[in-house]
Amino acid sequence: MSTSRIIFFSLALTLISFNVNATKLLSYQSEYEISLANSEKIRLPGKTYVDEASGQLFIDWINNCKNSWVSNQRMMTRFINSHGVGTVSEINYSINEKADGSDMDFVLEVKEDAELVERVYGEAKINNNLIVKFPQTDKENLNFSDDVVFPHQFLEEIISNLYSKKRMITKKVYEGTIPDKFFNISVFLTDQIIRESDIKLPKKINNKFKKIRMSYYQDNQQTPIFEQTVNLNDQGIANFFRYDYADYSLILKLKKINLVNLDCD
């Protein structure tokens, strides 16, 4: 499993976190249709490329009665390469993040052609520094500096600046999809507004999406390992993703979304 195929959760996780100061975010269940984007990149002889890609991304994002936000995400993608060989990638990710952003628990499971490639259980907590523990393993704890934040803190800044004059945001973010690393993320904000026309949205969802561009860096590298374009509204909901990898790109379009009502009395 390449690192790039896991990174898609980074933005999904960031965007569906919460911001108590912004528009009230909603509990929901959503589904995205995955397809291969058109590419004008020149193919080099002897190198294997992706010829076809299709699949689904499912996201459940639930406000646990203001105590925490719980998300279960599943991405299944079928790839066919330039030699006609097919593979099926499945990534499952679950997270429980406290409402105050102080800590989160996560589980990452990666499969290739139904065979388990990786399973990670993690506990991350922010005190003076950010400490990540991996229970039931002999893996050493991780200790990151206090300028590394959880996704919800990052989202707060993105949402609060969607309609500001700021054009770029940079942050170090840990969300667990690459368990032993954090990302240096640069967000480029645009003025372009898109309205969803392919599906009917629930009335409570704001049909006004801002286009943003995100670049992911690791280990002080000057070239991003992954880039993506997102249409995002002020409730943290995205109706479109484009994931740009080194040799191919994926398009994810919102297929359906249902709001979830919880009885917290």
pLDDT in tens, 37-82: 998 778 888 899 999 999 999 998 887 777 787 888 999 999 999 9
For the segment 135-153, what is each residue's pLDDT rounded down to a tens digit?
988 899 999 998 888 877 7
**234: helix, strand or coil:** coil
Q: Which residue has the higher pLDDT, 189 or 155?
A: 189
pLDDT score of 14: 54
Band (11; pLDDT cuts 50, 70, 90): low
For the segment 224-263, what is each residue's pLDDT rounded down to a tens digit?
999 999 999 988 889 999 999 988 999 999 999 999 887 7
Residue ranges of domains in the chain: 3-259
Report CA-CA distances (Å) from 142 to 78, 220, 238.
Answer: 33, 18, 31
Q: What is the dihedral of CA 148, 30, 191, 214, to 10 degrees?
A: 30
- List the Cα angle 65/71/73 in 5-degree steps: 160
Phi/psi for 203 (5° steps) reads -60, -30
- For residue 119, give every residue at least 6 positions away whose Cβ sits within 8 Å of its Cβ, in sequence order, or none: 107, 108, 109, 110
CA atoms 13, 55, 188, 258: torsion sign: negative
